[in-house]
Chains A and B, each alone.
Chain A
Amino acid sequence: MRFADLLGQERNVRLLKAALVRDRVAHAYLLTGPPGSGKRSMAEVFAAALDCEARGPEWDGEPCGECRSCRKVAHGNHPDVQVIAPEGAHLKLEQMQELRRENARRPYEARYKVFIVDRAEAMTDEAANCLLQPLEEPPGPAVFLLLTAYPARILPTIASRCSILKMASLPEALIARALMEEGRPEEQARAAAALAGGSLGRAREVAGRWETLREEAREFYAAACRGDRVALLNRAAAWSKSREEAQERLELLEALYRQLLLEAGGSPPGVWRRVLGPAEDGGGLSLAGARTVLEAVMWAQRALSANAHRRLLLEVLFLEIARCHTGGDSLPGLAEEPA
C-alpha cells in the first residue's frame, strides 16, 4: 500500500510526506478519526515510509513498496515496526511495559523503531501514564503512532506530547461514487455510504450485506409505524444476541432516522425513502418525533458502550420509538401514567 492509495486524506498525506522529506518527523503522532477512516492503513504506510530503504536525495516521501523493509512491513513481520492492540477490552500496563523495554533497544535493522498503538483510548490509566515518559523523550530513534476514534478519551497529558492528525471522514458522495465505480447499484451505494460514517471499508462491508439490512430496516420501520409492539419486542430479542450486532443495528437506526429527520426538516427525500416506501402510510414522523427518536438512539448507544443489558435496552428503545411514531402515550408506568 502507498500513500497514493489512501482515499480522501490528501491533507494528512501532504503533511506526513513533507515531514519525511524535510526530516522533521515528530516522535509521536495521535491519529484520530471515526472507525474505518483509514487510521491503520495510514499508520502502516507511514511506518513503511519511515523505514524505507529507497530514500535518496530526490525522494518524495512515498514508500517504494519493493525494498526488503517495505515488503516486511506489508507482511507484518518487520522487527522494528510493532503493532500493539488491546488484549481483550483494554491495553494493559504489562503491554506498555513490554513496549518500553523494546523501546530501550536500538532498531534492529531500520532507521526508526515504529510503535503503532491501535485503539489507544483503550489504554488503562496505568498504561497511559506509563507511556508518558517514552512519549516525551524516547531514548532512541523511535516514532509512536497512537490511533483512536475517541480523542476525548485520551489523557490530555498524552495528547499534549503528540502531533495530532485528524483523519478526514470521506464525504458521502465520494464513497457512493467509489462504490458505484465498483459496479454496485446506485441505491445500494448511496445507502451504504450513508451508513458508513465516512469509511470506505465499512461502506463496502455494508454494501455486501445490503439486501439483509434493507429488509430489516423496512420491516422495523413498518412495525414501528403500525405501533406493532410485539413485532418490535421480537426484533429486540433477535438483535441483542451480541454487542456488535446490537451496535450495528443501532447505527442502522441512526442512519435511518437521521434521514427521516432531515426530511421532516424539509430536505428532499433521500435514498432511504425509496427503501421504506412512500410517507403516506400513517406513521410519518414530525420533526420533534424524529429528534426524540434520535436522542433516544444516541442514549442507547452510550448505554450500550457502558455495558447496559442489551435486550432490555433495545426493548425500551423500541417502545419509545413506537410511541414517537403512533403519537400515543408511553406504556403505563414507563414515563407517565396514562390519562
Chain B
Amino acid sequence: MTYVSLYRKWRPQTFSEVISQQHVTRTLQNALKMGRIAHAYLFAGPRGTGKTTVARLLAKALECAQGPTPEPCDQCPNCVQIRDGLCMDVIEIDGASNRGIEEIRDLREKVKLIPVQAPYKVYIIDEIHMLTTDAFNALLKTLEEPPAHVVFIFATTEPHKIPATILSRCQRFDFKRLTVPELSAHLSRIASAEGLALSPETVALIARNADGGLRDALSLLDQCVAFAGEKVTLADVEALLGTVESEVLLRFVDLVAERDLVRGLAYIAELMDSGKDLHRLARDLMSHLRNLLLLKLAPAMRLEAVEPELEERLRGQAERFTRQALIAGIEVLAEAESEIRWASQDRLPLELALIRLVGLVEEGAAAPKTTAVSAAQPAVTAVTPAKPDPVSAARAPAAPAAPADDFGRRWAAFLESLTENGLKNMVSVFRQGDPPRLSGQTICLEFAPTKAFYLKKAVDNQEAMEKAVRRFFGEEFCFKPLKRGELPPAEAPEERADREVPGNGAGEDVRRDPLVRKAIELFGATLVKVEP
C-alpha cells in the first residue's frame, strides 16, 4: 500500500467534520431535512476549501439508505461505495478533460436512465469552468428540467467563467477561505490524531503559509513530517519554507534607513546564498512596511499577531521614516514583487527595489543636504530645494495632511468624468503614469522609463490635457508630465520664471555648469540669484 497523503486521508466523511463552511453545510442539511432538494448546485470558492468534499457528502446524504438525510450514516452499502468511489449512481466527471459538446451529449443521453441501486443519480462535475461554450449550451436544456431522479453538483474555482444562463439554473454556494485560527485548530487536531508532536507556533506558521486552503495546509504538514519525522520543530518548518524571520526584516529596513546601499546589497546576496526565498522576502518586507505605516498613522494601535516586544521595535523603526516614504516604499516593493513573479531571476528586481527605497529615504532627507552642496560651490548661493520639506509642509496650516488623500479621490473622480465625456484615450494616458502628485498648483504625473510612449503622448497633448484638468480642478491649476525621477518644480513654472533674476545673463550659464546641473537633477531647484 502506498502512502496516502494527509489531505486525502482526512477528507471529511460526514457534514459535522467539515470545518468553517457552516453557511454551506447548514443550508444543505436543512434543505435535506425538509426534503427541498434542488436539481442543480454550484459550489464555488478558492482551492482547498472543501468543494469536492461537500459535493461527495451531499451525494452520500441523498443516496444513503436512510436518505435523504441531513447526516449520512457512512455505513450502509451506498455510503461505503460512494466513499470508495465505486457507486454506479454517483458519477464524478472531470470537467477539464471531458469538456466538449460530445461528452455533454453523451451525458444527456445517459441522464434519462433510471438509477441502478440508489434513489438518485448524482452527477458531480468538477472544474466545470473548463467546459467549452458549446458544451455549456448543450447542457442548458437538461439543467433546467432534468428528470426527477437527477441531481447535478458543479464545483469550480472560477465561477466568473461560467455563463449566466448556467448560473441562473443552479443554487450557488460560495465557499470561503479558512482563517489562520481555524486552520491551526484543525491542524492540531489532525496532528494529535496522527501522533505528531507540534508546538503551537509551528502549527501557526504552517497555517499562515497555507493562504486559506486546508489542502495546502495539510500538504505542508505532510511535507514537514516527511522532512523531520514525528517531531516537527519550528526550525524545521522555517528551513522548509525558506521563511524570513522578523530579525531579517528589521535589519534590512534598518539598512535602508541608514541609506547604506553597499551593506544592503551585500545583505541581499547573503540572504540569497543562505537559501532564503527572495520572492517571499519582498512580500514580507511589504507587510513589514505596512505594519510600520499603521504604527506611524495610529500609534495607539495594537498590531494583531505581533508580539509586544517586537511591536516596540517596530515602533522605533517607524520613527525613522516619513509617512510618504513608507507609502512609496510599499509601492516600490509591490512593483518588485510582481517583477520577481514574472522573471526567473529574483535577485535583480529586489536589488533595484533596494536602490529605489534608499533613494526615497534620501529624497525625504534632501533638504538638509542642500546646504552641503551650496557650501561646496560658493558661486551659487541659493539653491532652494524644490521639494517642500515634509516637516515644514506638515506644519504649514495651508497644507494640512488630509488634502493628499482628498486629492487622490478627486483625481479618481476627474478620470471618471473624463470617461463619461468620452475622452477615453486621454484617460488611458493619464492612467499609465504613477499616482499623480500635487505640488503647489501643479499636478505632476510621472511616467516610468518603460512608459516613454505614453510620456510622449502626454507631452504632445499637454495643452489639451491641461485644459481638461483646469475644467475640473479650476483655472489656477497646471498639468505637467514628467519622467520618473525627474523632480517636479516646487511652484508653477511661470512663477519660477518670474523668480529667476531677469536681465542676469549668467542664469543660463550657471544652469549649464555640470555641478549645478547635477544639483538640480538631484534636488530640483529654483535658481534665485547668481553671485559672481
Contacts and interface: CB of A to CB of B under 8 A. Distances in A.
Interface in A323-339: 330, 333-337
B355 A261 contact: yes
A11 B239 contact: yes
B317 to A, nearest CB: 22
Contacts of B455: 335-336
A260 to B, nearest CB: 12
Interface string B207-235: 00000010110011011011111000000
Nearest to A299: B450
Contacts of A27: 2, 5
Interface of B is mostly: helix
A150 B229 contact: no
Interface string B239-266: 1101000000000000000000110011
Given A34-B345, A112-B2, A261-B351, A335 B99 contact: no
Scoring A11, A15, A141 by chain B CB atoms within 10 A of each residue's CB, the highest score goes to A15
Interface string A258-289: 10011001110000000000000000000110
Nearest to A306: B342
A22 B226 contact: yes
B506 to A, nearest CB: 19
Contacts of B8: 136-137
A11 B241 CA distance: 11
B174 interface: no
B130 A19 contact: no
B464 interface: no
A18 to B, nearest CB: 6
A82 interface: no
B59 to A, nearest CB: 16
A168 B346 CA distance: 12
Contact of A133 (B2, B97, B215, B225): B97
Interface residues of B, number: 63
A311 B219 CA distance: 46
A163 interface: yes
Contacts of A18: 226-229
Contacts of B35: none
A337 B229 CA distance: 67
Contact of B227 (A15, A141, A292, A333): A15
A298 B348 contact: yes
A30 B104 CA distance: 33
Contact of B275 (A11, A125, A294): A11
B2 A141 contact: yes
B163 to A, nearest CB: 17
Contacts of A133: 94, 96-97, 126-127
Contacts of A23: 3
A243 to B, nearest CB: 15
Interface in B343-358: 343-345, 348-349, 351-352, 355-356
Nearest to B518: A286
A265 B265 contact: yes
B272 interface: yes
Interface string A124-154: 0110011111001100010000000110100
Nearest to A16: B226
Interface of B: 2-3, 5, 8, 46-48, 52, 94-97, 99, 126-127, 130, 157, 213, 215-216, 219-220, 222-223, 225-229, 239-240, 242, 261-262, 265-266, 272-273, 275, 277, 279, 339, 341-345, 348-349, 351-352, 355-356, 359, 448-450, 452, 455-456, 459, 483, 485
27 contacts: A18-B228, A19-B227, A25-B2, A26-B3, A26-B5, A35-B344, A126-B96, A130-B97, A131-B96, A132-B96, A132-B127, A150-B342, A156-B46, A261-B355, A265-B261, A265-B262, A292-B449, A295-B449, A296-B450, A298-B349, A301-B343, A330-B452, A334-B456, A335-B452, A335-B483, A336-B456, A336-B483
- State the 5 A-B residue pairs at the shortest beta-carbon distance, nearest first: A129-B96, A152-B341, A19-B226, A171-B273, A335-B452
